[in-house]
Structure 1
Amino acid sequence: MMQVGSFAKQAILYLFLLQGGMALAQQDSLKISLDDLFKMANMGTNQIKLSNALFERSEEVIHDKKNDRLPTAGVNGSVGYLTNVGVIGLGTMASGFYDMPHFSNSYALQAGWVIYAGGKVATAIDIAKIENRIAGLDLAKDSQGIRLLLAGYYLDLYKGYSQEKVFEQNIALGRDLLTKINNRYQAGAALKSDQVRNELLVSTYELALSKLKDRIAITNYNIASLLGLPESTIIIPKAIEIPDAAKDYSVNDNSSKLSNIALAANPDYQKSILRVSLAEKKQKQVKSSDYPQIELFANATFARPYTFDIPAKDIYAYNNAIGLRINYSLSNLYQNGRKKDIAGKDVAIATLNEQLAKESLSREVNSGFINLRQSFNQLTTLYKQQELARENYKRIADSYLEQLTLNTEVTDATNQRLEADLRVTDAQAEILFNYFQLLKSLGQL
């Protein structure tokens, strides 16, 4: 469960952001690692701020509910006008109106302390504590969701810059080959079609590179917007290595162990467990209405005039009272039946949701484990294909210059080399994203 960071941690993070802001002011670019991006997300995204505010509110609710255990106290006063008092048939006294002090005022001090309420106060506190834990899990879930979203953007950006290098390398190779073809064409050793075909190939690569740069710009904007950075910020990802933990997950068949880890730490599943407890506490709260409320009370009053005599006397009367007060609503006998039925159904529904969450999480972890293992196997194959494609390109390009192959074969080999390089960068990013998805399922991202 995430909580508000300590002052020291916030200060360190503030210095980090300040340094980043100075770098932005100087060169409008920010070279940053994924871990540092996560730290900025915990502080800078509105979703995290909202979740944090809801968590802090739930903590205040706990304190508020605990206050219900404290005695209540109050004072009141009144000032008014009294008419003459009318008396009818009071013993031998003649009926009629008697003069009355017309100015009245009274003051009272009242105190009470609930000493028994059928467990209603304690249950309300327990409910507030459970809701606080749920709010903490929401904060953790939102934090991990933002991290996964940022990881996806970051990997897209990293992949985009890697593919940009691939295109630039292939464009350079294409231009180099085109120069050699132009020289051969000038010498009458190559056809005009060879020259045109390779010019079209280089042009196609340049157009693809232009589109790639546009995608990089969009992804860059998405990250900057999410973190509240200036729109002009250029985010440059640092080199990413595949963690050893990801490799371990891919080679060891430990899906059952991962499922146990997920059940203990996944925020969504932990919330489903807490919602069962919450439903049970609310059921107990409904049942507490079957019991009377017993309160210890004390009153002190100070009133003028004294109206318990005829004629009334213009003096203050003061009295105290202390005792037990019992309150019981008879309407609960016929109103609480439906509420109890609803509360019982809520418990059953929460229990079913917990079972469904467990099944869903088990499937999620299993598929995440398999996807990660598959992406590693895919990368191994693609490395081999990349090696073969590069060897094939070199062989065919050399053969073409020796007039042993056609230009169309060079074009095909060039395209195969480019596609092999691009597939490798895609596969590397896919491994990392699958790894982050698995960590999110485990509640460890």
Structure 2
Amino acid sequence: MKKRTLLTASLALMLCPPLAYAQTDARHPLTLEQLFTLADRNSKSLRPAVTGVAEAGQAVEAAQRARLPDINASLSGSFLGNGCLIDRDLGSGMKAPMPHWGNNFALEVTQVIYAGGALDGAVALSRLQAESARQTLAADRNKVRFLALGYYLDLFKQQNLLQVYDRHIELTQRTLRDMRARSAQGIMLKNDVTRYELLLAQLELTRTQLRNTLGILNHDLATTLGLPDGTVVAPDTTLLQRSLPTDDRTCWLERAQTQSPTLRQLDLATAMSRTQEKLVRSSLRPQVALVAAEHFDGPITIEVPPIDKNFNYWYVGLGVKYNLSALFKTPKSLRRQQLATRRNQEIAEDAREQTSLVIHAGYTRYREAYEQLRTREKSVELARQNYDVIAHRYANELALVTDLLDAANARLSAEVELANARIDIVYQYYKLHYLAGTLQDN
């Protein structure tokens, strides 16, 4: 009777709230908000997109400066050899002395005043590309946050599971000691002891695998967040007590259609194709520019004999340029660009449809997670009632130890499934944000 009472008390102790997962390394408590902040700040996956935004900003400035005038200056010095005057029939010739030192200086300015919309189109295209780069960064941030969240919640789940196995192992060890004592007294078969020894070995192997999984998840998460080696991330347990919104499916669809970076990128791709059409059409129009030049050359070699003096002259005028070959080349290019625009529109429409499908599925899973939570809560209630009944019967020698262990295992499993069900609600909620493209706004 005394042994039964001790075993019952041990089982009750094992079912108390779990202690923190022990680690020798420094623990780093981390809330979900801190997780997202660290992911945004330290993730190397975001750096190319950040650089891409800066690059696109410079491209806009470069396109705007294309409207400024072109200014070219040239300066050269030369040595001129003596010339030779030759008869038309090449019969005879004579030497023509020339000034030997020559100089040339030119300053030319060209200001385009009409380019058929090419300059404005280039600026508009660069701005669209800059916005696309910002949406790429938002989409990448959405992915990095969801990746870090997956590591974070998986770590949470695995720690819960490890605590369960730690308790099961200790329970099995206590049971084995009791069974060996009974076997030594001849009131229990050795085969039953061997069976529990095999169970203990399997539990210890599974615990080792869980610890390795925890180490891998912790390392992946710490690397993603840029934390020092050896840091042990401690998830925020209060996360499970948060009240999450239960907006209807229509609300999530509207968010995705208006805020998804991926859908915005596709809309921008269509807008860029239309701008490209305008640029192609601009080649069918003439270019008009103001031109001005200043020249300072010497000596004057167009006279015979040459005049050893400098000649300075300047001019201002209006230039018109038209590419005649565009009349038969541009129509094909324009048709190709129109087809590209249509293709981008079709891709965007398909993406919106696919987004609607995944939002519908994600919302269904989110609501299902609440149903699962209610089921797990009922399971825990029943498992606790069952354990109380079996423990009372065992204390009065009306149940076997195996019945008590089965009841304890059922209660522990139900409790960890309840905790994991709460974690799954959090996961499904933020997955909806990820699918809608709004996780990067949280």
What residue is the counterpart of 1:17 in the other structure? none
What residue is the counterpart of 2:147 in the other structure? 149
What residue is the counterpart of 2:429 in the other structure? 435
**Percent identity between the two aligned chains:** 28
CA-CA distance at 1:283 after TM superposition: 0.9
What residue is the counterpart of 1:73 in the other structure? 71
Which among 385, 390, 402 is matched to residue 384 of structure 2?
A: 390
CA-CA distance at 1:202 after TM superposition: 4.1
Matches within 5 A, 1:221-240: 221-240=219-238
Which among 378, 387, 409 is matched to residue 372 of structure 2?
A: 378
Measured at CA, do residues 237 and 266 of structure 1 come closer, stay the same or move farther in structure 2, by a change above 3 Å?
same
Contact preservation (8 Å) 1:302, 1:318: yes
CA-CA distance at 1:400 after TM superposition: 3.9
Q: Distance in 1 between matches of 2:257 and 2:240?
A: 26
CA displacement, residues 274-320 of structure 1 (integer Å, 9 cap, x when unaligned)? 11101000111111100111111110000000123221111000000
The letter for the 2-side match of 1:63 is: E
The letter for the 1-side match of 2:410 is: Q
What residue is the counterpart of 1:422 in the other structure? 416
Contact preservation (8 Å) 2:25, 2:231: no
Q: Distance in 2 between matches of 1:412 and 1:386?
A: 14
Deviates more, 1:40-49 or 1:421-430: 421-430
CA displacement, residues 308-333 of structure 1 (integer Å, 9 cap, x when unaligned)? 32211110000001111111122212
Which among 309, 317, 341 is matched to residue 315 of structure 1?
A: 309
Q: Distance in 2 between matches of 1:374 and 1:195?
A: 43
Deviates more, 1:392-401 or 1:432-441: 392-401
Q: Distance in 1 between matches of 2:415 and 2:202?
A: 16
The runs of 5 or more residues in structure 1 that have no matched partner are 1-25
Contact preservation (8 Å) 1:201, 1:411: no
SS in 2 for 1:404: coil
Q: Distance in 2 between matches of 1:425 and 1:203?
A: 26
- 1:292 and 2:290 aligned: no
Q: Distance in 2 between matches of 1:102 and 1:188?
A: 126
The letter for the 1-side match of 2:422 is: Q
Which among 25, 28, 31 is matched to residue 30 of structure 1?
A: 28
What residue is the counterpart of 2:361 in the other structure? 367
What residue is the counterpart of 1:283 in the other structure? 277
CA displacement, residues 344-393 of structure 1 (integer Å, 9 cap, x when unaligned)? 11110011011011101111211111111101111110121122223323
Contact preservation (8 Å) 2:164, 2:413: no
Q: May I ask how many residue pairs the two structures share in their alignment?
A: 413
Measured at CA, do residues 180 and 401 of structure 1 come closer, stay the same or move farther in structure 2, by a change above 3 Å?
farther
Contact preservation (8 Å) 2:146, 2:431: yes
The letter for the 2-side match of 1:216 is: L
**TM-score (norm: length of structure 1):** 0.85
What residue is the counterpart of 2:110 in the other structure? 112
SS in 1 for 2:293: strand
**TM-score (norm: length of structure 2):** 0.86
The runs of 5 or more residues in structure 2 that have no matched partner are 1-23
Which among 126, 129, 132 is matched to residue 131 of structure 1?
A: 129
Deviates more, 1:406-415 or 1:368-377: 406-415
CA-CA distance at 1:239 after TM superposition: 1.5
Q: Distance in 2 between matches of 1:408 and 1:245?
A: 40
CA displacement, residues 102-130 of structure 1 (integer Å, 9 cap, x when unaligned)? 22111011111111000101101111101
SS in 1 for 2:66: helix
SS in 2 for 1:171: helix
What residue is the counterpart of 1:263 in the other structure? 257
Q: Distance in 2 between matches of 1:39 and 1:190?
A: 59
What residue is the counterpart of 1:336 in the other structure? 330
Deviates more, 1:56-65 or 1:174-183: 174-183
CA-CA distance at 1:256 after TM superposition: 1.3
Matches within 5 A, 1:30-49: 30-49=28-47
Q: Distance in 2 between matches of 1:436 and 1:364?
A: 14
SS in 1 for 2:309: coil
SS in 2 for 1:232: coil
Contact preservation (8 Å) 2:295, 2:313: yes
CA-CA distance at 1:160 after TM superposition: 1.6
SS in 1 for 2:294: strand
Alignment RMSD? 2.6
CA displacement, residues 38-73 of structure 1 (integer Å, 9 cap, x when unaligned)? 111112111111110011100000001101011111
CA displacement, residues 402-434 of structure 1 (integer Å, 9 cap, x when unaligned)? 443345434543443343233223322222111
Q: Distance in 1 between matches of 2:234 and 2:161?
A: 14
Q: Distance in 2 between matches of 1:190 and 1:358?
A: 68
- 1:171 and 2:169 aligned: yes
CA-CA distance at 1:187 after TM superposition: 6.1
Which among 32, 57, 71 is matched to residue 55 of structure 2?
A: 57
Which among 211, 218, 221 is matched to residue 220 of structure 1?
A: 218
Contact preservation (8 Å) 1:117, 1:294: yes
Which among 314, 319, 327 is matched to residue 321 of structure 2?
A: 327
Contact preservation (8 Å) 2:109, 2:292: yes
SS in 2 for 1:427: helix
Measured at CA, do residues 325 and 85 of structure 1 come closer, stay the same or move farther in structure 2, by a change above 3 Å?
farther
CA-CA distance at 1:200 after TM superposition: 4.1
Q: Distance in 2 between matches of 1:83 and 1:289?
A: 46
CA-CA distance at 1:89 after TM superposition: 8.4
Contact preservation (8 Å) 1:55, 1:135: yes
Contact preservation (8 Å) 1:43, 1:49: no
Q: Distance in 2 between matches of 1:59 and 1:87?
A: 61
Deviates more, 1:356-365 or 1:61-70: 356-365
CA-CA distance at 1:82 after TM superposition: 2.7
Deviates more, 1:382-391 or 1:283-292: 382-391
SS in 2 for 1:241: helix
Measured at CA, do residues 326 and 378 of structure 1 come closer, stay the same or move farther in structure 2, by a change above 3 Å?
same
What residue is the counterpart of 2:11 in the other structure? none
Q: Distance in 2 between matches of 1:418 and 1:239?
A: 18
SS in 2 for 1:290: coil
Deviates more, 1:370-379 or 1:186-195: 186-195
CA-CA distance at 1:264 after TM superposition: 1.0
What residue is the counterpart of 1:160 in the other structure? 158
Contact preservation (8 Å) 1:166, 1:421: no
Q: Distance in 2 between matches of 1:133 and 1:216?
A: 40
The letter for the 2-side match of 1:59 is: G
